[in-house]
Amino acid sequence: MTRRDARARGLEAILFVADEPLSAGTLAAAVDAERPEVEADLERLAASYLEESAGIVLRNVAGGWRLYTNPDAASVVERFILASRHTRLTKAALETLSIVAYKQPVTRHHVAAIRGVNSDGVLKALTDRGLLAEVGRDEGPGRPLLYGTTPEFLERLGLPSVKDLPPLAPLLGEDEEAAGGDGDVRAAD
C-alpha cells in the first residue's frame, strides 16, 4: 500500500466522523501531510465518488470539506429516515410521552418520580425523534431542564393543541381517582 493510499483512507475516515466541514489545513495536520498534497487527495476522492456514482459525495463547502449523501439517492434516504422516525414507540416511551404531554413543562426528575425509574434515555430518544423538546429551565435548585411536547407530537396525534388531549378521568381507575387524580390534568400551551 502506498503512502498516498493510506493518507486518502485516513482522510476519508476523518471526513466520515466529522460533523462539520473541515479545512484542508486541519485535515493536513490530522494526517501529517502537506496541505497541497491533501488538497490533491481530496479532489481525487471527490472525483472518484462521482465517477463511481457512489452513495456519497465529497464537497468543498463553507471553507472546508464534508461528506454528503448523493442527491440521486435522496428518495431512498428520505424513505429510510421517515420510516425509522415513525417506528412504534416502546411502552416506556409511551409512558414518558404521556407524562410530559399532561404535566408539561416537566423536569426529567419529575418524569422519573412518576414512572418510578430513570427516564433519561427515553427522554433523549423522544427528543431525538422530535416528539419532545427542551422548553426552558426550572427555577429550582440547579435549574434543571424542562421538557414539553413539540408541534411534531401534535401533528402525529392530529391535535391542534395540547388542550385537546383527552381528559384523564375516564382512563383512571376508581382507586386512582380516590387517591387524588383530578381527572383533567392538562398543560396550557
pLDDT in tens, 74-107: 989 888 777 665 677 889 999 999 999 999 999 9
Average of per-residue pLDDT across 107-132: 93
Average of per-residue pLDDT across 115-143: 92
Is the pTM of the predicted complex or chain greater than 0.85? no
Intrachain domains 3-73 and 91-178 with the same fold = yes
pLDDT in tens, 132-176: 999 999 998 999 999 999 998 888 888 888 888 888 777 666 554
Average confidence score pLDDT of the chain: 86
Give the C-alpha separation, 120 to 147, whole Å: 11
Q: What's the first-to-final CA gap in the chain, in angstroms? A: 62
Instruction: Give me the CATH code for the 91-178 domain, please.
Output: 1.10.10.10
pLDDT at 37 over 90: yes
pLDDT at 110 over 80: yes
Give domain 3-73's CATH architecture: Orthogonal Bundle (1.10)
pLDDT of residue 116: 92
For 99-141, the DSSP string reads HHHHH-SB-HHHHHHHHTS--HHHHHHHHHTTSEEEEEE-SST
pLDDT of residue 85: 59
Domain ranges of the chain: 3-73, 91-178
